[in-house]
Amino acid sequence: MKDEYNRNSMTTVAVIYCRVSSTKQRIEGSGLESQEQRCRAYAIEKGYTVEAVFPDDVSGGGDFMQRPGMVALLSYLDAQRGKPYVVIFDDLKRFARDTEFHLKLRREFVKCGATIECLNFRIEDTPEGKFIETVIAAQGELEREQNRRQVVQKMKARVESGFWVFRAPVGYRYVSAPSGGGKVLVPDVVLGPIVQAALEGYATGHFASQAEVQRFLERNPHFPKDKKDGTLRPMTVTRLLKKPVYAGYVEADGWGVSVRKGHHEGLISFETHQQIQDRLEGRKRRPAARADFNEDFPLRGFVACDCCGNAMTAAWSKGKYRHYAYYRCETRGCEAKSKSVPRAKMEAGLAEILQGLQPAKGLFELAKAMLRDAWSMRLSFAHQEKEALQKQLHDVAGQIEGLLDRIVEASNSSVVHAYEARIDKLERQKIVLQERLDKTIPPKGRLEDCIELALGFLANPWNLYQNGDHAMRQTVLRLAFAEPLRYSQNGVYGTREFSFPFKFLGGFSGLKSEMVLQERIELSTSPLPRECSTTELLQRR
């Protein structure tokens, strides 16, 4: 005891270590300040000079090397090895809440030649003192593990009840529940529509690959970026596409909680979520994003070379005074390889084709009437489809019940795992069927909305293409043409294969063609029945 007293009386330089378990405790509480104040008062009482203070606001899970403040403290002592220091901390639990790391940390301080002093515990270098210190360290580890278990149990129970308990995903934010039962997710006003457009675009094929989804999100200034250069990691897009939380459902595979309906509003339907998963599973290899992507060449990838049939690429070429935009074919062995086509020339030809896709007025009115008739027919089919879906839903529920009975009787773990995987798949199928059943009968007023959107595209696709962004232009091309266009080096587009709506509306204003009377072709004495023209059909309506 005398030697220890002499050593402490000679040690006049001290450093303080303070720690709270989270950043929230540091911001909202005063734990760090109160610990530092108590340690400084202790140093004054002992006659120590405080040279530095090292705070921490992370737990580290018991590992002191995961705490930036502790790492900085050890580096500080190591840099001034040989100078005696006293490390002061408030409580033994602030030192380390893990028995193994507690002993390792003690050895690290011994290597640095520093001693430690605790306000709430007297550290003695005796067998009895080491034993008591180890017991208290083990007690701290027990409390930490028990607290972790309680937190996990509470979070798991909340997920099982349909609440999301993790960090709010992009597109959502947390608000206090109206009933006072914690916090719930609500769609973010700004980011919600952006994420919804990305998810639905990939599910419907509007975005042909994850790379296009990534570019769409990178172009939006409001979407948070991963990298300092304003880009996203490909894994960020993949994780966003896989999360069922965006469909209004929650799950926690690590805790054995299967997918279930959540208490928050989904940005997309669960059926759309399943379409996304099917696309992800069907495409093992994700196309990489083009480094030279820009909106200057909307026809790149859609227009094919007429000689070889491969998609043409595009780029800017540097001239003597300025840059020039060209499309070209880069297929090895092609006769037209590297023969440049001015962008203005190729896109002017496309503009002429799209401007000609305007149905004659008579055909347009007839199409509107036919759309209404088709809607009425579809409504009658919807009632039949509803009955079929109810039967499928009943069959799926029966299969799930049968598999649950088999699990009870099974003793092989691999068989049980196979049954559980099958049940999970059926549960997802059941959710999709229920959503389809709820949406089978369209609400009143839906007809006018659908007709307005469809006729707006059919009436003037060129207007949408000309005034839309890059994504809209790609959509117009995919909807207007059944196959990619082929362009020859003489500056002419090959035979165009239009999509079905434009095939049906065969009379285009630009082509000045229209249906004619049967009697203009057949003789008046022909035994064939006389058919009416489009104009007469409209008059009879």
Please tell me whether residues 21 and 131 are part of one structural domain: yes
Please tell me whether residues 143 and 26 are part of one structural domain: yes
Please tell me whether residues 378 and 255 are part of one structural domain: no
Q: Between residues 284 and 245, which one has the greater pLDDT?
A: 245
CA 317, 300, 276, 175: dihedral to nearest 10 degrees?
50
C-alpha distances in angstroms, 404 versus 396, 410, 415, 419, 426?
12, 10, 12, 8, 12
Dist. CA 90–CA 121, nearest whole Å? 9
Q: Are the CB atoms for 407 and 399 separated by under 8 Å?
A: no
Joined tokens for residue 13: 């330089």
Does pLDDT of 7 surpass 70?
no
Please tell me whether residues 151 and 6 are part of one structural domain: yes
Please tell me whether residues 237 and 368 are part of one structural domain: no
For 72-112, write each residue's pLDDT tens digit: 888 888 888 878 889 888 887 777 777 878 888 888 888 88
For 304-353, write each residue's pLDDT tens digit: 888 888 888 888 888 888 888 888 888 888 888 888 888 888 888 888 88
Scanning 283-360, the segments in alpha helix (DSSP H) are 343-355
In a domain, 87, yes or no: yes
Please tell me whether residues 265 and 186 are part of one structural domain: yes
In a domain, 296, yes or no: no
Q: What is the DSSP string of 229-296?
A: TS---HHHHHHHHH-GGGGTEEEEGGGTEEEEE-SS--SS-HHHHHHHHHHHHH-SSPPPPPTT--TT
Please tell me whether residues 110 and 190 are part of one structural domain: no
Please tell me whether residues 190 and 142 are part of one structural domain: no
Please tell me whether residues 180 and 143 are part of one structural domain: no
Dist. CA 315–CA 324, nearest whole Å? 8
For 170-221, write each residue's pLDDT tens digit: 999 999 877 666 789 999 999 999 999 999 999 988 888 899 899 999 888 8
Q: Which domain holds residue 269?
A: 172-282
Please tell me whether residues 42 and 121 are part of one structural domain: yes
Given this model, what pLDDT does residue 237 score?
Answer: 92
What percentage of residues in the chain have a pLDDT greater than 70?
A: 79
Give me the mean pLDDT over the 118-135 stretch: 81
* pLDDT grade for 529, boundaries at 50, 70 and 90: very low
Considering 102, 124, 155, which residue would you say is the last residue of a domain?
155
* pLDDT grade for 437, boundaries at 50, 70 and 90: confident
Given this model, what pLDDT does residue 443 score?
Answer: 63
Q: Are the CB atoms for 457 and 477 separated by under 8 Å?
A: no
